Amino acid sequence: MKKAILYLEDGACFNGTTLAATGETAGEFVFNTAMTGYQEILTDPSYAGQIVVMTYPLIGNYGVNPEDVESEEVHVKGFVVKEFCRYPSNFRSTQSLIDYLNENKILAVEGIDTRALTKHLRLQGAMKGIISTEEFDPKRLAQKLKQVPDMVGSDWVKEVTALKYYIYNDSKGHRFKVAAIDCGIKWNILRILADLECQVHVFPATATTEEIQAVNPDGLFISNGPGDPAAVPYVVDTVRSFIGKLPIFGICLGNQIVGLALGGKTYKLKFGHHGANHPVMDKPAGRISITSQNHGFCVDYESLNKEEVEIVHVNLNDKSVEGLRHKKYPVFTVQYHPEAAPGPHDARYLFEEFINQMKEHQYKV
């Protein structure tokens, strides 16, 4: 173990120790309130460019395994906890979280007062920061942070999207053909769609309207992903071209992209929503779901045309927009993660809603 400093752009400093990995890493600091699911969090592409602080004090209790990843690699820039568990215990565990982080060369820090750090981020907002085991001079660290791009205006989708088109669930028994724009898609989304008898044609975020149309899909899905939605106009333009032509379902970044495609605007939340315990009201259904969330931006509902678009899901913590629906076309979105991984399964019914919309579309065609 080696001493490490955690320096934030507002000048706040925290001291801790690293695991085997050493060096420096920088990104936007955010906190996650989930008690479990750290492996899914680490491999969620939506965390690209960010350093995650876990609020639960002891992390790593049940180890890691090859089945709980949500992508091919770890995407966080760094990982901060109060204490790592040295002796994990679970029948599914194949190695410790410490070994997993070191294998992936992730700069992970423990011994930090994560309660104080989280309260600081809640008060001051998510901000850029740096973790270092080499440089401890705050003035020099501040200079290095100036070279780190802000999350606002940054296109992180290009860092995590698929390099080429592929098909998930290439079986002949499928009932629906879904075109998915991969902005950083989580694997559990693909698993659920496959379980619902969908063949998923996954396209890179740079795919054109013509390329997507060529597979003759029954519906269009826009995935979660990292960064500023306003920084990916190429995805927004593609999605806009399908409004009124196909059923559209967007999750997380996909919600924001659809909001932009419908003529709205987005804005950055103070510290975002990251965790597995966020209450959301589904207004048409009159139900409340406890949801998994991971986003730093939000759709500005006041910027949308109220005659065409309605808000159907609301965050009960801060009243922010959690879901939209077009009043005329089969277009709906949610800001949270109905596929969970990690988190509760309260909102998985939304995938069935997408299926029903594709059924109606097939009937009309």
CATH number at residue 209: 3.40.50.880
pLDDT at 142 over 70: yes
**Residue 171 pLDDT:** 78
28 close to 151: Cβ distance less than 8 angstroms: yes
Sorted by sequence, the CB contacts under 8 Å of residue 66 that are 6+ apart come out as 94
Give Cα 143 to chain centroid, integer Å: 29
272 close to 310: Cβ distance less than 8 angstroms: no
pLDDT band at 276 (very low <50, low <70, confident <90, very high): very high
Pick from 138, 194, 187, 190: nearest CA to 171: 194
Mean pLDDT, rounded, for 219-229: 98
- Compute the distance between CA of residue 317 and CA of residue 202 in angstroms, rounded to an integer: 34
pLDDT, averaged across the chain: 96
Q: Is there a domain that residue 232 lies in?
A: yes
Domain identity same for 169 and 79:
no
Mean pLDDT, rounded, for 112-130: 98
Domain identity same for 125 and 180:
no
Look at phi and psi of residue 67 and say left if phi exceeds 0, alpha if psi is from -120 to 50, else beta: alpha
**Residue 77 pLDDT:** 97
Domain identity same for 32 and 110:
yes
**Number of folded domains in the chain?**
2
pLDDT at 364 over 80: no
Token output for 41: 């969090």
DSSP structure class, residue 186: -
Q: Is there a domain that residue 93 lies in?
A: yes
Sorted by sequence, the CB contacts under 8 Å of residue 178 that are 6+ apart come out as 193, 198, 199, 200, 201, 217, 218, 219, 220, 221, 358
CATH number at residue 25: 3.50.30.20
Pick from 203, 304, 294: nearest CA to 259: 304
Q: Is there a domain that residue 151 lies in?
A: no
Q: Is there a domain that residue 262 lies in?
A: yes
Please state, as a whole number, how many other Cβ atoms lie within 10 Å of the Cβ of residue 271. 18
Domain identity same for 200 and 252:
yes
pLDDT digits over 300-353, tens only? 999 999 999 999 999 999 999 999 999 999 999 999 999 999 999 999 999 999
pLDDT digits over 20-50, tens only? 889 999 999 999 999 999 999 999 999 999 9
Mean pLDDT, rounded, for 241-255: 98
Domain identity same for 80 and 163:
no
**Residue 362 pLDDT:** 82
End of a domain among 125, 145, 165? 145
3-state class (DSSP) for residue 116 = helix
202 close to 182: Cβ distance less than 8 angstroms: yes
Residue spans of alpha helices (H) in 241-348: 253-261
Give Cα 277 to chain centroid, integer Å: 15
HSE, side-chain direction, 13 A CA sphere, residue 212: 28
- The sign of the torsion formed by the CA atoms of 135, 140, 142, 148 equals negative
Domain identity same for 261 and 303:
yes
**Residue 82 pLDDT:** 98
3-state class (DSSP) for residue 198 = strand
- Compute the distance between CA of residue 202 and CA of residue 200 in angstroms, rounded to an integer: 6
Catalytic residue ranges = 252, 337, 339
Domain identity same for 43 and 164:
no
pTM, rounded to two decimals: 0.96
27 close to 269: Cβ distance less than 8 angstroms: no
Q: Is there a domain that residue 150 lies in?
A: no
End of a domain among 121, 145, 169? 145
pLDDT band at 365 (very low <50, low <70, confident <90, very high): low
Domain identity same for 98 and 229:
no
Q: Is there a domain that residue 66 lies in?
A: yes
End of a domain among 122, 145, 168? 145
200 close to 193: Cβ distance less than 8 angstroms: yes
Cα–Cα distances in Å, from 8 out to 17, 137, 180? Answer: 17, 13, 37
Q: Is there a domain that residue 166 lies in?
A: yes
| Domain of residue 116, residue span | 2-145
Domain identity same for 164 and 104:
no
pLDDT digits over 71-101, tens only? 999 999 999 999 999 999 999 999 999 999 9
